[in-house]
């Protein structure tokens, strides 16, 4: 039986719980995810990445506080915990369990090339230190934990900032390695980059970031918001002089909150020589208009942490309804299974394998990746030429399994019929395979 939730596109993203949410987090992550969560055609998974927080922060009180603040911000901004999966990463023990399974199919060399790890190594090298000085294994393993977050819930789309694209690519890599070894269990995710979401500049004009200490908290009093906005850097042009919108942090922040029409009006005011004090007042009023209605809800949640705890636990229970059976399936796939069931399954697969066609993937001495489709008697029905990566080969197989006629046309010379084999033989074999896969999937539900 296919349920609604298995049909919908699954969108998943997390926020690391190391700090107090600022306007950059709001514009870049919180607001777009809340908007996306209202799309009924998708199923949202939004979580607090507190295991990831441990990699960057060793202050327990800060992690606890940040988890509360981010959860409250998300809900104050309109995330409906009943309409989505909303949970805390560390409430899902299946995630660290999956992390280990993925660790065992992840090349160490790939992790060596992760940007964050490489940046630390480069810094150490430049300073003449040991390359791994002050690098924890946690930092090194960051992408694997993130892969587990994503693959655990078979997410299709992962909205992230540009700096995270490499991590999604790594998650895809882990998924295809796992599938290659153990069968098609994991879904290959895709990064979603919101082109329209600009990087918000901070008070000093650089990207708004806690590490630059240039942030404006999302939730502070009106008075404090006003005071912080008055500290945004501007040039020294006097009132009456025309101002440049380009490179103006104030203008860019305004743009992230205002409509196109409002933005045009401010651009015109810049050209007409608006004074910086007046421009700051306009910015303050615009942001406050959006944030003020959320403040009461935020305060209420912050002052009732037990309520937030309960909501998150409820969310985790809901998420684990998916995670618990899935990790069981994955454990079974890799051989962590009842010794009795292993014996029966073994004979079971052997007989069923003997009766069904199968794709075989392999690597040749030329370093390329190949596959063939063989019938139960071992006759080659299809033979591929070399693919550059196992992922490419896997994708061709997936295409064939989905729609062989279309795939054969699309793959052209890359896949050929075996000796004395007709297209009808192939179609028949793939139909058998498809029925089997469908039955297997049914058995899992
Ligand atoms: N690494 C992400 C960040 O720093 C946070 C994160 C953790 C995440 N796990 C994730 C994002 C899974 C998307 C999906 O922004």
Three-state SS for 239-305 is CCCCCCCCCCHHHHHHHHHCCHHHHHHHHHHHHCCCCHHHHHHHHHHHHHHHHHHHHHHHHHHHCCH
Whether residue 372 sits in one domain with residue 324: no
How do residues 408-432 score in pLDDT, each as one tens digit? 888 988 999 988 888 888 988 898 8
Whether residue 234 sits in one domain with residue 151: no
Whether residue 243 sits in one domain with residue 104: no
Instruction: Answer whether residue 444 is part of any domain.
Output: no
How do residues 166-180 score in pLDDT, each as one tens digit? 999 999 999 999 999
- The whole-angstrom separation of Cα 226 and Cα 283 is 9
Per DSSP, 402 falls in state H
Ligand 1, atom 14, lies closest to the CA of 13
pLDDT at 379: 84
From the CA of 167, give the closest atom in ligand 1. Answer: 1
- The whole-angstrom separation of Cα 46 and Cα 187 is 18
Whether residue 402 sits in one domain with residue 360: yes
The number of distinct structural domains making up the chain is 3
CATH number at residue 284: 1.10.240.10
Whether residue 365 sits in one domain with residue 241: no
Instruction: Name which of 220, 215, 269, 272 is nearest 241 in CA terms.
Output: 272
- The whole-angstrom separation of Cα 416 and Cα 386 is 12
Q: Is the CB of 25 under 6 A from ligand 1?
A: no
Q: Is the CB of 13 under 6 A from ligand 1?
A: yes
Ligand 1, atom 4, lies closest to the CA of 16
Q: Is the CB of 150 under 6 A from ligand 1?
A: yes
> Residue 354 pLDDT > 50, yes or no?
no
What is the rounded average pLDDT of the residues 80-102?
Answer: 97
CATH number at residue 23: 3.40.50.620
- Say how many Å lie between the CA of residue 161 and the centre of ligand 1: 9
pLDDT at 51: 98
From the CA of 145, give the closest atom in ligand 1. Answer: 9
> Residue 135 pLDDT > 60, yes or no?
yes
Instruction: Answer whether residue 214 is part of any domain.
Output: no
Query: Is 281 buried (19+), middle (13-18) or exposed (0-12) by CB count in 10 A?
Result: middle
> Residue 212 pLDDT > 50, yes or no?
yes
Query: Is 28 buried (19+), middle (13-18) or exposed (0-12) by CB count in 10 A?
Result: buried
Whether residue 112 sits in one domain with residue 52: yes
What is the rounded average pLDDT of the residues 124-146?
Answer: 97
Whether residue 425 sits in one domain with residue 359: yes
Whether residue 39 sits in one domain with residue 89: yes
Ligand 1, atom 6, lies closest to the CA of 14
Q: Is the CB of 37 under 6 A from ligand 1?
A: no
CATH number at residue 412: 3.30.160.160
Whether residue 118 sits in one domain with residue 60: yes
Q: Which helix (H) or strand (E) holds 428?
A: helix 423-444
Q: Which domain holds residue 129?
A: 4-198+304-332
Cα dihedral 334, 339, 345, 349 in deg (nearest 10): 60
Q: Is the CB of 17 under 6 A from ligand 1?
A: no
pLDDT at 344: 43
What is the rounded average pLDDT of the residues 352-375?
Answer: 81
- Say how many Å lie between the CA of residue 210 and the centre of ligand 1: 16
> Are the C-beta atoms of 36 and 11 separated by less than 8 Å?
yes
Whether residue 120 sits in one domain with residue 27: yes
Please state which of the ranges 223-237, 401-415, 426-440 shows the lowest mean pLDDT: 426-440
- Say how many Å lie between the CA of residue 158 and the centre of ligand 1: 9
pLDDT top residue among 271 and 374: 271
Ligand 1, atom 9, lies closest to the CA of 146
pLDDT at 198: 64
- The whole-angstrom separation of Cα 13 and Cα 5 is 17
Q: Where are the alpha helices (DSSP H) in 104-164?
A: 108-112, 115-126, 137-152
Confidence of residue 444 (pLDDT cuts 50, 70, 90): low
pTM of structure: 0.76
Whether residue 223 sits in one domain with residue 133: no
Whether residue 138 sits in one domain with residue 113: yes
Q: Which helix (H) or strand (E) holds 16?
A: strand 9-16
């Amino acid at each position: 039986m296919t349920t609604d939730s298995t049909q919908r596109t699954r969108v998943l993203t997390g926020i690391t719980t190391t700090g107090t949410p600022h306007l950059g987090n709001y514009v870049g992550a919180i607001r777009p995810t809340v908007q996306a969560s209202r799309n009924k055609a998708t199923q949202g998974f939004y979580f607090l990445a507190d295991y990831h927080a441990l990699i960057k922060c060793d202050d327990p009180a800060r992690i606890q506080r940040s988890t509360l603040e981010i959860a409250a911000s998300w809900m104050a901004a309109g995330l409906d915990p009943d309409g989505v999966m909303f949970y805390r990463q560390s409430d899902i023990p299946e995630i660290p369990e999956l992390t280990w399974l993925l660790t065992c199919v992840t090349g160490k060399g790939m992790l060596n090339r992760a940007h964050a790890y490489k940046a630390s190594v480069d810094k150490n090298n430049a300073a003449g230190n040991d390359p791994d000085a002050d690098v924890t294994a946690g930092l090194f393993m960051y992408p694997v934990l993130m892969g587990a977050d994503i693959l655990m819930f078979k997410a299709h789309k992962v909205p992230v900032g540009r700096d995270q694209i490499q991590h999604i690519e790594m998650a895809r890599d882990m998924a295809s390695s796992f599938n290659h070894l153990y069968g098609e269990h994991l879904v290959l995710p895709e990064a979603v980059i919101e082109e329209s979401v600009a990087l918000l500049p901070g008070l000093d004009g650089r990207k708004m970031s806690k590490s630059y200490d240039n942030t404006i908290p999302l939730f502070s009093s009106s008075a404090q918001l006003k005071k912080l906005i008055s500290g945004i850097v501007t040039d020294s042009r006097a009132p009456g002089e025309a101002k440049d919108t380009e490179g103006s942090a104030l203008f860019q922040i305004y743009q992230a909150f205002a409509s196109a029409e409002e933005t045009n009006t401010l651009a015109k005011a810049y050209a007409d020589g608006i004074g910086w004090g007046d421009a700051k007042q306009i910015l303050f009023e615009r942001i406050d208009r959006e944030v003020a209605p959320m403040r009461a809800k935020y305060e209420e949640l912050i002052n009732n942490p037990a309520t937030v705890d309960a909501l998150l636990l409820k969310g985790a229970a809901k998420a684990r309804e998916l995670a618990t059976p899935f990790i069981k399936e994955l454990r079974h796939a890799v051989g962590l299974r009842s010794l009795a069931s292993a014996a029966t399954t073994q004979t079971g697969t052997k007989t069923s394998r003997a009766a069904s066609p199968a794709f075989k993937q392999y690597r040749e001495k030329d370093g390329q990746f190949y596959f063939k489709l063989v019938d139960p008697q071992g006759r080659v029905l299809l033979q591929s030429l070399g693919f550059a990566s196992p992922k490419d080969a896997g994708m061709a197989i997936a295409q064939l399994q989905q729609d062989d006629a279309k795939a054969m046309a699309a793959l052209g010379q890359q896949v050929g019929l075996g000796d004395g084999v007709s297209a009808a033989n192939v179609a028949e074999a793939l139909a058998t395979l498809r029925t089997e896969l469908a039955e297997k999937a049914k058995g899992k539900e």
